[in-house]
Amino acid sequence: MAPAVRPNERTSPPNIPSDVETRAQAQASWMLMDSLLMVLVEHRLVPVEKLIDAIDVVITTKQGYLEAESEDASTVKTAIGMLIEVSNSLRASPGS
């Protein structure tokens, strides 16, 4: 016998998140990433050059998505631009 389904449980596949949920997730992720980068730099836990290298790897990966046309081009280009801004900001930070 199958267990009873509680009222709050989903009985169908998960819904696609709304635009608001997607934007909220993106904002929260971005703020968390920014905060973690600041902690790493301020406490000198990771050399700035290593962080820049890691971001550059992500940029290269996103550029591959653009070339493969596996994602929406405008979204990928926007993401690349945002990552370049973070990389440039780290390059300009004291101690880099």
Query: Is 37 inside any structural domain?
Result: no
Domain that holds residue 84: 49-96
Name the DSSP letter for residue 37. H
pLDDT digits (tens, 9 = 90+) for 35-85: 999 999 999 999 999 999 999 999 999 999 888 888 889 999 999 999 999
Specify if 72 maps to a domain: yes
User: What distance in Å separates the CA atoms of residue 81 and residue 27, rounded to the nearest whole number?
Assistant: 16
Closest CA to 54 of 16, 83, 23, 20: 83
Residue 18 lies in a domain: no
With a CB cutoff of 8 Å and minimum separation 6, the contacts of 5 are: 11
Does the residue 20 lie in any domain? no
Residue 85 lies in a domain: yes
State the CB neighbour count (10 A cutoff) for residue 51: 21
Q: Greater confidence, 4 or 21? A: 21
In the prediction, which pLDDT does 34 show? 92
Residue 67 Cα distances to 40, 60, 79, angstroms: 32, 11, 14
Residue range 17-45, pLDDT digits in tens: 889 999 999 999 999 999 999 999 999 99
Domain assignment present for 75: yes
Asked if residue 37 lies in contact with residue 90, where contact means CB atoms within 8 angstroms, the answer is yes
> What's the whole-model pTM score?
0.72
Per DSSP, 8 falls in state: T
The count of domains in the chain is 1
Residue 34: inside a domain, yes or no? no
